[in-house]
A = this chain, B = another copy of it.
Amino acid sequence: MKIAVAKGDGIGPEIMDAVLSIFNANKVPLEYEVVDMGKWVFDKGFSNGMTPEAQQTIEDLGILFKGPMETPKGKGVKSVNVTARKTWNTYANKRVFQTLHGVDTVFSKAGIPIDVTIVRENIEDTYGGIEHMLTHDVALSRRFITRPGSLQVIRYAFEMAKKKGARRITCGHKANIMKITDGLFLECFYEVAKEYPELKADDVIVDDLCMKLVTRPDLFDVVVLTNLQGDIVSDLCAGLVGGLGFAPSANIGDHICIFEAVHGTAPDIAGKNIANPTALLLSGLSMLRHLGFMENAATIENALLYTLESGVHTGDFGDKSIASVNTTEFANAIIGNFGKLPAHGAKPTLPNKPITPTHFKLEENPLIMSKEAANEAIVGVDFFVEFAGQPNDVADKCLNVIGDKFKLVTISNRGTQVWPKGSVFTNVVNQYRCRVESVNDAPIDQSAVAELYLKFQAEFKVCSLELLNMWDGKKAYSLAQGQ
């Protein structure tokens, strides 16, 4: 079987070579096709950080094993890591954080074992990168959460939790504040949970989760979160086990999967053959298991654990009284320990499974969609307008143009209601939200909204608008603070 390999920037090539030397020594039956991806590809003028040939190869092979990559700084450039995850719809980021004996941490010293798996939604949230300046003072990022996107990652998390025999699966969220977006994610979680009655499913608010992870990390097993919260929690957990140098990462999609080291490219030590390949190796082991090479993965992982326990270490960690080894020596030590078992946490050696290639040809973009509500009605519109003045003056201008089909319901500034009532202490910026609803909540046509927009834009610069919907008799939008 052939997979695509992108060695990455900085220390990427040397740690990738080390890991592939371990795989080859263990006779992993894989061939590697190296593709062009990373900062140096940006620098050649490819704005998404990969050549068209690289993209084609990855799509043909279905598996990408990837070293760390750098995204050039600048407002017009998107992260190559994020682009890759989004283009190929690797909707689940799975990261396993486990105590490694030989890697000292605050928690290992306190005798608290870590074994937690974070599944992070990998496509949505503010990672869509949909941002606009509304006024010179007001920046907006559109944070979206979708029902089918949430179901995809949550289903993956439950299925994975079931396979690993997890004792608990927890949804981390902020639905107490983001009642509609994170509320939707949480609703999907409990919807899927019904299909897995054998798993203990519960939820926790993300700030509380972080507090608990630094006091009682052993309480958690599998945790599934939205994108940004999952990003933060993942790195927190990486800290618990010694840092990104010890934390693997797998990006799982229905067609293409990416296994990668997510630490930096460490340009200061690049080319010196002293970097630590552990995170990339652990990511590679995750890939081997994904592909069915269970026996190879167990042999290599046990050799890695044995090597770490024996005190062998690169310069970035371990017992300073023992001389460090370089990247090649570290890889060779692991190779030399094939067949040995660590004292702690030895992995059972399961037989290799037949390979199931995960990729196939698609004719068109998969449309992921759930059923629609029975009754849908447009009942109003929020206009976000630029205005440098007092709330009553905004209201007067709105009331001038609103006509008799609509009523002005509330005006808010930064989410807090300032009209018809509010507090004089509420500081206001030069952008107001004017909420207009139909008289008697009667369903209206879009054309009525369009007519009103024509009138509003004669009075204001309308930076954004959002339709207000009712579904099955319920408002599909939030109230203003204080409304």
Q: How far is the CA of A449 from the CA of B458 in the complex (A)?
A: 12
A and B contact pairs by CB, cutoff 8 A, 27 listed: A76-B479, A86-B482, A87-B481, A89-B427, A106-B214, A126-B177, A129-B415, A130-B478, A130-B480, A131-B179, A132-B476, A134-B466, A135-B372, A141-B144, A141-B145, A143-B143, A174-B228, A177-B228, A210-B210, A211-B243, A228-B228, A232-B232, A363-B424, A365-B422, A365-B426, A367-B390, A367-B428
- Quote the shortest CB–CB distance from A406 to chain B (angstroms): 16
Q: How far is the CA of A232 from the CA of B128 in the complex (A)?
A: 21
Docked complex: A398-434 residues within 8 A CB-CB of B? 412-416, 418, 422-431, 433
Docked complex: A368-413 residues within 8 A CB-CB of B? 368-373, 376, 382, 388-391, 412-413
A273 within 8 A of B: no
The one of B75, B140, B424, B446 that contacts A143, using a Cβ cutoff of 8 Å? B140
Q: How far is the CA of A127 from the CA of B110 in the complex (A)?
A: 37
CB-CB under 8 A from A458, the residues of chain B are: 447
A235 within 8 A of B: yes
Pairwise interchain contact B211-A235, C-beta atoms closer than 8 A: yes
Pairwise interchain contact A184-B139, C-beta atoms closer than 8 A: yes
Pairwise interchain contact A137-B147, C-beta atoms closer than 8 A: yes
Q: How far is the CA of A180 from the CA of B141 in the complex (A)?
A: 8
CB-CB under 8 A from A424, the residues of chain B are: 362-365
- Quote the shortest CB–CB distance from A232 to chain B (angstroms): 5
CB-CB under 8 A from A139, the residues of chain B are: 144-147, 180-181, 183-184
Pairwise interchain contact A428-B179, C-beta atoms closer than 8 A: no
A138 within 8 A of B: yes
Residue numbers of A with Cβ under 8 A of B are: 47-48, 55, 59, 71, 75-76, 78-79, 82-83, 86-89, 91, 105-107, 109-110, 112, 123-124, 126-149, 152, 174, 176-181, 183-184, 206-208, 210-215, 228-229, 231-236, 238-240, 242-244, 253-256, 362-373, 376, 382, 388-391, 412-416, 418, 422-431, 433, 446-447, 449-450, 453-454, 457-458, 461-469, 471, 475-483
- Quote the shortest CB–CB distance from A98 to chain B (angstroms): 15
CB-CB under 8 A from A468, the residues of chain B are: 132
What is the copy number of this chain in the assembly?
2
CB-CB under 8 A from A422, the residues of chain B are: 87, 365
Pairwise interchain contact B464-A176, C-beta atoms closer than 8 A: no
CB-CB under 8 A from A464, the residues of chain B are: 464-467
CB-CB under 8 A from A179, the residues of chain B are: 75, 129, 131
